[in-house]
Amino acid sequence: MCWHVVTAVMALLPLLLLAAVWLGEPALAAAGTALAGALALAGVIAAPALSVSYRVLPQGFLFVPVAALGLMAL
């Protein structure tokens, strides 16, 4: 994942989750949680798949807490 993509998604995810709260739409929360989970999974798998350390590709771990909290909220 490129850092600019991660930055854009990190800006979009809070907006998506805030919209879910303000509008009372659980589907938006589910979409945000699914997006965070997919990015966490892709990021965690990317480092070993590319034979690099997590020190080089740590960004997948940024989405793990968001996905976990989203799952608890649903």
Residue 65, pLDDT above cutoff 80: yes
Token pair belonging to 38: 């997919």
Residue 8, pLDDT above cutoff 70: yes
Class of residue 36 by CB neighbours under 10 A (exposed 0-12, middle 13-18, buried 19+): buried
pLDDT digit string (tens) for 18-50?
A: 899 899 999 999 999 999 999 899 989 999 999
- Domain range annotation of the chain: 3-73
pLDDT confidence of 1, banded at 50, 70, 90?
A: low
What integer is the mean pLDDT of 48-67?
91
Residues 6+ apart with CB under 8 A from 36: 13, 63, 66, 67, 70
Q: How many CB atoms lie within 10 A of CB 66?
A: 20
Report the share of the chain in percent with pLDDT over 70: 99
